[in-house]
Amino acid sequence: MKSVRKKALIAIIIEFFVFSFVGVSLVLMLFHAGILAFPVIAFMWTFWGFNVLTFFIGIEIKLRYKISFAVLNLLLVSLLISFLINSSESTRNNTVHIVSIAISIVVALLYLIVSILFVKNYWKPAKDEILRLFGKIPAEAPLDDCKTKYPLLLVHGTGFRDRKLFNYWGLIPEILEEHGATIFYGKHDAWANIEDSANQISTTLRSILEKTGSEKVNVVAHSKGGIDVRYAIARLGLSDKVASLTMISSPNHGLKTMDSLYSVFGKGIFKFCAFFVNIWFRILGDKKPDFYKTTQQFCATFMEKFNDEIVDTPSIMYQSFAGKMKNPFSDIFMWLLNLIIGFSDGDNDGVVSVESAKWGKFRGTIEGRGFFGISHTHEVDGYRTNPRLKESESLPTGSKTIRDFYISLVRELKDTGF
């Protein structure tokens, strides 16, 4: 629970200054009507209050409760202001007064329902955690169900870097560490091509082995990260230093969509974009950004040649998973990509198609439960929402959410002897 409290404390400090600045600014902007800013202020500070609560009880509170109470607080303060303004004899309006009373009753009922659900879900775990904190009940024994023989190396995909504050993998690494896993990161560029990324990952991997004294590592790679590692194993002497490679939606067969884009727009537009992308990502810390070549390497024609030349090592366990958006509403930021890629490549997660993700032992498709699917970002808990998954016999046992999926996956590696 230390990681939960640490994250809550950081949020408390940041939100305090941000919300204070926004609140004061709104009041000053509205001047005489500054009271009208109070509903928005109540909405914002509700999130701050929940982070304070999380810090004390050590339990992460679901976003839906935070939003529900924030909206209800906004309505509650709005109604109080309405009653205050309407209480004056000069401005009194009986219709407004009656409507405000009716809405107040509805808000009160909703507040009661949400509060009951909230207490029902969090009372017992919160009480146990507080008692444990004060030594009234024994502390839980450290978990070791994800303590694998070899350390885990997490390798990100294109467009992102390994950062502490905004982790590419969401809360997955922290949860795996709580279950006993030893985690390391690839530390490679966001927009480097396959060859350069592979060299950077190779350097990182060798330093991990030197630091830990381990003979090998288990690699879990997302998106292009899987292709980078495949190249590093085959061409950079890592064949005896990797025990397993698990790929989550890696474009092992490229995308026909990228071939079509190059055919329609030509190389010129990509080179033009590369000029600005490379400058920007070099500012952000990339050593060798190469937008143009990297986008070419996403093409199906390129990956066909790549697969002929880059041969798997028999002693390494290669396994893969795909992700699938059931409809464009699965991810508001990827709906357009999902539609475009769907025309040429079929089912996809907004970036990589299901067919392209298949390599080695294909374990199956990660799908969302119910109406929504799993996007490329959901696969690494990028939105920190821990989406629920459609349980399948092909996925690791107990994969009820995306975080459970990774816990179960690493447990499998441990049980396999890796």
Q: Are 319 and 246 in contact (CB under 8 A)?
A: yes
For residue 133, the model assigns a pLDDT of: 62
* pLDDT higher than 70, residue 134: no
pTM greater than 0.85: no
Q: Which of 63-67, 94-98, 176-180 has the highest average model confidence (pLDDT)?
A: 176-180
CB-CB contact of 226 with 269 (8 Å): no
Mean pLDDT of 113-125: 82
Question: What's the 3-state SS for 197-221?
Answer: HHHHHHHHHHHHHHHHCCCCEEEEE
- According to DSSP, residue 36 is labeled G
Query: What tokens does 242 get?
Result: 């990797």
Spatial contact of 297 and 194, defined as CB atoms under 8 Å apart: yes
The backbone torsions φ and ψ at residue 340, rounded to the nearest 5 degrees and listed phi first, read: -65, -50
Distance CA 113, CA 15 (A): 28
Please state which of the ranges 30-44, 213-227, 368-382 shows the lowest mean pLDDT.
Answer: 30-44
Long-range contacts of 345-349 (CB under 8 A, 24+ apart): 345/255, 345/256, 345/257, 348/324, 349/249, 349/322, 349/323, 349/324, 349/325, 349/373, 349/374, 349/375, 349/376, 349/378, 349/379
Average pLDDT along the chain: 89
Q: Is the pLDDT of residue 92 over 60?
A: no
**How far, in Å, CA of 9 to CA of 24, rounded?**
23
Would you place residue 2 in the very low, low, confident or very high pLDDT band (cuts 50, 70, 90)?
A: low
The model's confidence at residue 140, banded by pLDDT at 50, 70 and 90, is: low
Count CB-CB contacts under 10 A for residue 33: 9
Q: What is the pLDDT of residue 132?
A: 63
Asked which of 37-41, 216-220, 234-238, 293-297 is least confident by mean pLDDT, the reply is 37-41
- Widest distance between CA atoms in the chain: 86
For position 93, what pLDDT does the model report?
A: 62
Q: pLDDT at residue 135 above 80?
A: no
pLDDT at 82 over 90: no
Token pair listed for 404? 């459970």
